Structure 1
Amino acid sequence: MPRAIKDSVIVITGASSGIGRATALEFAKQRATLLLAARREAALQEVAQECDRLGGKALAVPTDVTIESEVQSLARRAIENFGRLDVWVNNAAVSLFARFEQVPMESFRRVIDTNLFGYIHGARAALPYFREQGSGTLINVSSVVAITGQPYTSPYTISKYAIRGLSDSLRMELYLDNAPDIHVCTVLPASIDTPIFQHAANYTGRKTKALSPVYPAKDVADAIVGLVEKPQREIIVGQAGYLLALEKTVAPDLEERMMARQVDEDHFQDYKPATPTDGNLFEPMQDYTGISGNWLGTGGITTQDVWDLARRAAKVLGIPIY
């Protein structure tokens, strides 16, 4: 049985904004003990203070997840300060927009280093303590693009597919080790209202926006909290994510064409040109530290639009949707 959240020691990477920040606050409301990790110390301290006000206990630990020694140190801080480690949330991520051939190779590697190797470092730091205790929950925040794919974000998409594979492999090894109280859960959010789109590197010449429909970060935070209380192998957040997964399963060619067109038409603000930028790949941005990126309601496609499209596709394919 998982420990009660109020008795749990929880590490969250990427905790200075977006999903990580929202998740920290939801855990704090249940009086969890938190270690908050990200590159931005001032923003982390703000989140820690807010968690303390909500009833939790939070420690800000500036960490670059691409550096394995810093992630190992983060795990040791949990043991040294609180005597145990119950939950590790791998969440730190960066993104990049460009055609595949136009991505600077250094930038391509940086996305993989952060999004994939950051999670590998986290898993390798947490699992030995989980094994020693005989219990623990590793939560890997991937993306629905790990099911559907997406143009213009090939490094990000590759990393999110790989995270899903990492989770699958770890679950299988834990099964072979007869470790039923160590859980590995994968979260697959749809398009979420966070500052990741302001933070993203962009070499397209077109200003980006969140892909419609957009869901609040609290939805993902609530899902992560729910996984600690009741672990599941995988969960999608956002109705559009479930519909895209269905379309990918039953009509992959159609889904890929629809996704390509939607991203090309809705993931950019064509009336706003953008100069090339590395975003926060190599250095953190000091602004955009909130949970929201102010994307809710900015798109032309609503959740109802997605439902309608899915119903029409289902009718053609002879598959009922309820």
Structure 2
Amino acid sequence: MKHQQVVVITGASAGIARATAHLYGLRGAHVALLARGQAGLDGAVLDVEKAGGKALAIPTDVADHAQLEAAATQIENTLGPIDIWINVAFTSVFAPLHQIEPAEFRRVTEVSYLGYVYGTMAALSRMRTRNRGTIVQVGSALGARSIPLQSAYCGAKHAINGFTESLRTELMHDHSDINVTVVQMPAVNTPQFSWVLSRLPNHPQPVPPIYQPEVAARGVVYAADHPQRKQYWVGASTVATLVGQKIAPALLDRYLARTGFEAQQTGEKVGPDRPHNLWEPVDGRSGHDHGSHGVFDKRSHSRGAQLWFSHHARAMTAAGAAAAIGAAATWLRRK
């Protein structure tokens, strides 16, 4: 009998995680869906099962280690041993640091960083007994190059990289057959920009170019299939950002100070009392399934070069360097 992969995905009610769940459904995998929002989880179950997979939805707050442990036990009792664990769940606050409350900053850190740590712990404790399995951390270009207005989120993404590097060296020391890899993402058209806690005067937006969640999901699945590489970059903008940070970080500081506030807002005014998901899921109150996509479909790319980049690391670096130098030259001409 053919073994069906058992895949766990956190944050699976929307965005990249939801799109990734659908891809595993197409493979006929057994997919465990972890998130807080019930409407989004119900929609994700339908996505997976219509695609041909088997779904198990477990309402879970990843900031709570005990909830993740209980979910992992339920998954293995119901679906079987976990083969792949994908950490995606996050939350954020769009505001200058002086407008963020300490409890809000802590909550972002607990979900967006410690949620990865706790998920990895839950997966690793089970994978170690079998000496096999793969853990995928869905990161961001902002984990290497921070931008204004997202200090809590950027800090969490930086922390994920450091945590994962440490874990990787421990697994290497143990000669373990467990793999852990990171997928660094570009700006993605997810619902988060419509439900994130924001103190900006206008509607938040991802910094263009924007990619559809399916592009990111293909990158996640590819990384899970080829986890021996420590890191993958999805999208040309991620390449340019990460290489540019290595070449000219001070220049990027000045560029982002000049453009970063405006680039993260549309022209649409939003009220300070709009619903947000920092403490409770938005779909838990509205009962509305937001799906994978955000409100920027018309501006988003449905294709990306992440698979080509994954096979051509040298060309990827050269292209990123050229893009970074070009951007620097353009910025200097404007000064």
- Once the two structures are superposed, the pairs formed by residues 205-284 of structure 1 within 5 Å of their partners are 205-231=201-227, 232-275=229-272, 279-284=276-281
Aligned partner of residue 186 in structure 1, secondary structure: strand
- Of residues 22, 27, 32, the one that matches 1:35 is 32
Report the Cα distance in structure 2 between the residues aligned to 1:296 and 1:258, rounded to whole angstroms. Answer: 27
Q: Give the unaligned 5+ runs of structure 2.
A: 305-319, 331-335
- Once the two structures are superposed, the pairs formed by residues 136-151 of structure 1 within 5 Å of their partners are 136-151=133-148
1:127 aligns to what? 124
Please list the CA deviations of residues 54-76 of structure 1 after superposition, one character each: whole Å capped at 9, or x if unmatched: 11111111111111111001111
1:24 aligns to what? 21
Report the Cα distance in structure 1 between the residues aligned to 2:270 and 2:12, rounded to whole angstroms. Answer: 30
Please, which moves more after superposition, 123-132 or 267-276? 267-276
1:246 CA displacement: 1.3
With normalisation by structure 1, the TM-score equals 0.89
Q: Do the aligned partners of 2:12 and 2:89 also contact (CA within 8 Å) in 1?
A: yes
1:294 CA displacement: 2.4
2:294 aligns to what? 293
1:51 aligns to what? 48
Report the Cα distance in structure 1 between the residues aligned to 2:141 and 2:295, rounded to whole angstroms. Answer: 21
1:196 aligns with 2:197: no
1:87 aligns with 2:87: no
Cα–Cα, structure 1 residues 22 and 265, in superposed 2: closer, same or farther, change >3 Å?
Answer: same
Q: Do the aligned partners of 2:30 and 2:54 also contact (CA within 8 Å) in 1?
A: yes
Q: Give the unaligned 5+ runs of structure 1.
A: 317-322
Q: How many residues align?
A: 306
1:106 aligns to what? 103
1:12 aligns with 2:9: yes
- Of residues 172, 179, 194, the one that matches 1:183 is 179
Please list the CA deviations of residues 13-64 of structure 1 after superposition, one character each: whole Å capped at 9, or x if unmatched: 0000001100000111111111001001232122112211111111111111
1:276 CA displacement: 5.1
1:298 CA displacement: 4.1
Please list the CA deviations of residues 87-129 of structure 1 after superposition, one character each: whole Å capped at 9, or x if unmatched: 1111111111111111011111110010111111101101011
Q: Which amino acid aligns with 1:147?
A: A
Report the Cα distance in structure 2 between the residues aligned to 1:63 and 1:153, rounded to whole angstroms. Answer: 24
Please, which moves more after superposition, 100-109 or 18-27? 100-109
Aligned partner of residue 148 in structure 1, secondary structure: coil
Report the Cα distance in structure 2 between the residues aligned to 1:148 and 1:212, rounded to whole angstroms. Answer: 15
Aligned partner of residue 178 in structure 1, secondary structure: coil
Please list the CA deviations of residues 275-300 of structure 1 after superposition, one character each: whole Å capped at 9, or x if unmatched: 1557100010014621110214449x
Q: Do the aligned partners of 2:16 and 2:217 also contact (CA within 8 Å) in 1?
A: yes
Q: Do the aligned partners of 2:85 and 2:134 also contact (CA within 8 Å) in 1?
A: yes
Q: Which amino acid aligns with 1:255?
A: L
1:67 aligns with 2:68: no
Q: Do the aligned partners of 2:193 and 2:203 also contact (CA within 8 Å) in 1?
A: no
Q: Which amino acid aligns with 1:155?
A: A
- Once the two structures are superposed, the pairs formed by residues 149-160 of structure 1 within 5 Å of their partners are 149-160=146-157
1:83 CA displacement: 2.6
Report the Cα distance in structure 2 between the residues aligned to 1:197 and 1:259, rounded to whole angstroms. Answer: 20
Q: Do the aligned partners of 1:202 and 1:278 also contact (CA within 8 Å) in 2?
A: no
RMSD across aligned positions (CA): 2.2
Report the Cα distance in structure 2 between the residues aligned to 1:258 and 1:314, rounded to whole angstroms. Answer: 9
Aligned partner of residue 63 in structure 2, secondary structure: coil
Report the Cα distance in structure 1 between the residues aligned to 2:152 and 2:99, rounded to whole angstroms. Answer: 12
